[in-house]
Structure 1
Amino acid sequence: MDADDVDIEMRLLPPRKVLVIGASIGAGHNSAAWELQRRLQCNGLSAVYFDILDAVPFIFKVILCDLYGPIVNYAPSLFSRFMASWESDSSWTVRILLWSVSTRKVLEQIRGASVVVTTHAIATQAVGRLKQQGKHEAVIVSYFCDAGIHQLLFHQEVDLNLVPVPEAVQQCAKYGHTAVAITPLVQSKFRSPVPQHTCYRLRQRLGLAAESAVILIVAGSLGIGSVGSTVSDILDQMEAVLIVVLCGRNSTLQRSLSTIPRVTALGWREDISELLAIAQAMVHNAGGMAVWEAMVTGLPATTYNPLPGHGMANARALEQSGLSPWPRDRRDLRLALEHALQMGRREPTIEDEQVVVDHIARMMQRANDITLL
């Protein structure tokens, strides 16, 4: 069969799609999935999004979404033990969860897909297990949203692991898996400069003095962790700065911080790129999407009071990669922030959106080649 015959047969194949599976646990995993879907569609590929939590019983959705925040806030040691168990693919909690995933719902979504891309460990394990059982033949790509690596992120049926920092490639190798580093999947608006007049108007609306440095504190979409302690430590150590806290959907946290001088507490926002533009430094506690968004804009990030479990793992990985220092006390926090303010913004990360699309396209070609055999 010559090349022309192959081209003809490929044109006769049914349309291929990419299934992107995220998880609505927090916001970062879905954000990465939606951004990948957008890039694929902009390049003329059929890309469909699916939330893996739509394939689990309601009680598990409640546990994973609604109970996550309270457990982190009020029983952090319990959460740490749970995460230590969760990050092992042989733990009973993982086995029960994966047994509960609806095979029918997942396979309905996979039908017609030549490539499945996952952005959460639950999705990776579910899709990999089904392929291992011979229930589908789609090529599997796993995108790691965080810098911290653990066992549950891997499955032997995954064909390509994509990681957001080069240092994670070496971490994957320690688990016996190969990986390719790409620039984190961040929305394109974060790579576009924010006009000065937009920054000026935003500072005015928030009541931020033009001459004062702004430190942005982020605590994820749920606004969890020791945020109040972080605010207090910065206020006690640094007299001249203003603090803007992104409380996410935690209205209780927002109310508790709203009366503190030099602190502006905000709820859920859609203008994160503009808030990053008016800040001179960022403090985070989870190492999720906010870190990659800051990295893309060049805003220096510092980890402090990290969440138990994945937050601690990300803090270690980000510190080792040189992307985000992790001061352990308020004095070192002040020194880290003073250094960040003195050094200013880094060069924004340059990203070629086409890179990840090319990786997926090669996986689609691989799937087509297998189909033609």
Structure 2
Amino acid sequence: MSASVGAGHDGAADALALRLDAAGFQVDRHDFLDLLPARLGHILRGGYHRLLTRAPAGYQRIYAATERTGSPGPAMRAVLRGAESRLLRAVGPHSRAVISTYPLASQVLGALRRNGRLGIPTLTYLTDFSVHPLWVAPGVDAHLAAHPVPAAQATALGAAAVRVSGPVTGPRFIAVDEGRRRDARDRFGLPHDAALALLVAGSWGVGSVRESAAEIRDCAAAEPVIVCGHNTALAGQLRADGFRYVHEWIDDMPLLMRACDVLVQNAGGLTSLEAFASGLPVMSYRCIPGHGQTNAAALHEAGLAVRVSEPGGLASVLTDLTRGALGERQRAAGLALFSATPGPVAAVAAVAAATRPQPHVRKRPHRAWRRGKLAAVGLTATLSLGIGAPFMHAFAADHGRLPHVAHTFFERYEL
């Protein structure tokens, strides 16, 4: 169970599925957002995207509010309940385990385990290095973490059976020698005689990318190579700004990582793990609100990524990462992350191999009640996501009365 919110959750699910398939298991993949009724998944995805791109301050407030409460608000709980029956049908009667790479999917799976409707083990693979309380779902049988830092955070939040299983990435993300690095630079038309900083901003190309690119270029410690994902407008702006190496969505990210000397990231998700597997040192800079900032702090605590908060620190850190001892230490730490533990596939395979398929208990509510519930779910989601995103856009732009109104609205209804 994953979700097409950006590419990190799906990317982790892809890597897990590929390796489980190689271990002899048949794997079914489902997008949790498709299981929400009345196209609410589409609304949720769009609202999240609008908040990140148009009103990041609003996203930060929602993220902080749910950190305090530790659970979804009433509107979101109604939405999640509407996915329970569809999720059970998706799991099917012959499954041996369910793995979630998305926190809201874990919430539904945990509820189904608690009330006895789902009879097989459920595991959550924590794709982030920082653990938001929504990742910890009562009823989930085990939580798998890539490193002791997120494992400790999950344990502190009350997660069940937390295990440091190690990370998982696609098999093509591997460290290479200097000869292959030169070949990769030729493939992308990159110079051989310059330090290259790979600047990424997720599949949506969000955050202060133009500012980061300009500051990296101006500090003269590395040449920026920028990946904008599906944000074609951003790519056009960067080309107009005079940047030479600008890409949109990249199908061969492993090869591009081999060509570069350092990764500069702003979200701390799957791309950072892929860089570690590729022997690429990582720097966090101008991180997006919410999970971007907490992930940067957790990666810094783990000794896996340097966090730079001011443009004045760019030159010295980039120089040390690309040519100095700091870069060597970061490469070694990233590669050790993959060699120290077998990865989450071993833990999932052990649970699945020891489980017999169990029939699911399906409750069929009264038809009228079901229709009323669906209408309520649609109304609450439309209000929270359709109205909430414009509210937060106005909140970010206005410093008068409207910020207080918007803040009160979101705090009261925990949207």
Which TM-score tier does this pair reach, normalised by the shorter chain? 0.7 to 0.9
Kindly indicate whether the alpha-carbon contact (under 8 Å) linking 2:66 and 2:133 is maintained by their aligned counterparts in 1. no
Alpha-carbon RMSD across the aligned residues, in angstroms, is 2.3
Deviates more, 1:307-316 or 1:253-262: 253-262
State whether residues 119 and 358 of structure 2, in contact with CA within 8 Å, keep that contact through their aligned partners in structure 1: no
| Structure 2 counterpart of 1:53, one-letter code | L
Are residue 188 (structure 1) and residue 168 (structure 2) matched?
Answer: no
How far is 1:99 from its partner? 2.7
Provide the C-alpha distance between the structure 2 equivalents of 1:131 and 1:245, rounded to a whole number of angstroms.
44
Structure 1 pair 90–256 and aligned structure 2 pair: CA distance change class (3 A):
closer
Larger mean CA deviation between 321-330 and 336-345 belongs to: 336-345
Match of residue 107, structure 2, among 120, 125, 130: 125
Correspondence 1:266-281 to 2 at 5 A: 266-281=247-262
SS in 2 for 1:326: strand
Look up the equivalent residue of 1:140 and give its one-letter code.
T
Residue 65 of structure 2 corresponds to which residue in structure 1? Answer: 85
Per the alignment, residue 392 of structure 2 pairs with none
Higher relative contact order (CA 8 A, sep 6+): 2
Structure 2 residue 288 is the aligned partner of structure 1 residue 307: yes
Which of 142, 145, 153 is the aligned partner of 1:160?
Answer: 142
Residue from 76, 80, 88 that aligns with 1:107: 88
Q: How does 1:36-47 map to 2 (within 5 A)?
A: 36-47=16-27
> Deviation at 1:157?
1.2
Structure 2 CA distance, aligned partners of 1:38 and 1:260?
40
C-alpha displacement of 1:40:
1.3
Pairwise CA distance, 1:60: 2.8
Q: Could you say which structure has the higher helix fraction? A: 2
User: What CA deviation, in whole Å up to 9, does each residue of 1:64-100 have, x standing for no partner?
Assistant: 3233333212211111112223443142343133133
Find out whether 1:286 has 2:274 as its counterpart.
Answer: no
The offset of 1:306, in angstroms, is 0.8
In the alignment, the residues of structure 2 paired with residue 338 and residue 222 of structure 1 have an alpha-carbon distance, to the nearest angstrom, of: 28
Deviation (angstroms), 1:176: 2.4
Give the partner amino acid of 1:44.
G
Q: Distance in 1 between matches of 2:7 and 2:193?
A: 33
For residues 34 and 66 of structure 2, what CA distance do their matches in structure 1 show?
A: 20
Residue type matched to 2:157 in 1? Y
Of residues 65-74 and 25-34 in structure 1, the stretch that sits farther from structure 2 once superposed is: 65-74
1:359 aligns with 2:347: yes
Per-residue CA deviation, residues 73-129 of structure 1 (Å, 9 max, x unaligned), is 22111111122234431423431331332x232111222212111101011011111
Shift of residue 201, structure 1, vs aligned partner? 4.8
Contact 1:162 1:180 in 2 (8 A): yes
Give 2:217's aligned amino acid: L
**Alpha-carbon distance, 1:52 to partner:** 0.7
Kindly provide the CA deviation profile for residues 152-172 of structure 1, in whole angstroms up to 9, marking residues without a partner as x: 111221111101112122112
- 1:70 maps to which residue? 50
CA displacement 1:25-59 (0-9 Å, x = unmatched): 11111111121111111111222111111101354
Shift of the 369–257 alpha-carbon distance from structure 1 to 2, 3 Å rule, reads closer
1:210 aligned to 192, 211, 214, which one? 192
* CA distance in structure 2 between the aligned counterparts of 1:162 and 1:73, rounded to whole angstroms: 30
SS at match of 1:189: coil
Q: CA deviation at 1:369?
A: 10
Q: Which residue of 2 is the match for residue 340 of structure 1?
A: 321
Contact 1:208 1:242 in 2 (8 A): no
CA–CA separation in structure 1 for the residues paired with 2:216 and 2:162: 38
Larger relative strand fraction: 1
Letter in 1 for 2:171: S
3-state SS of the aligned residue for 1:98?
helix
How far apart in 2 are the matches of 1:39 and 1:354? 12
Distance 1:86 1:194 in 2: 45
2: CA distance, partners of 1:42 / 1:353: 18
Residue identity in the other structure for 1:275: L
TM-score relative to the length of structure 2: 0.78
Structure 1: segments with no counterpart, 5+ residues? 1-20
Distance in structure 2 (CA, Å) of the matches to 1:209 and 1:90: 49
Q: Please state how far the C-alpha of 1:359 moved relative to its aligned partner.
A: 1.3
Q: Equivalent residue for 2:373?
A: none
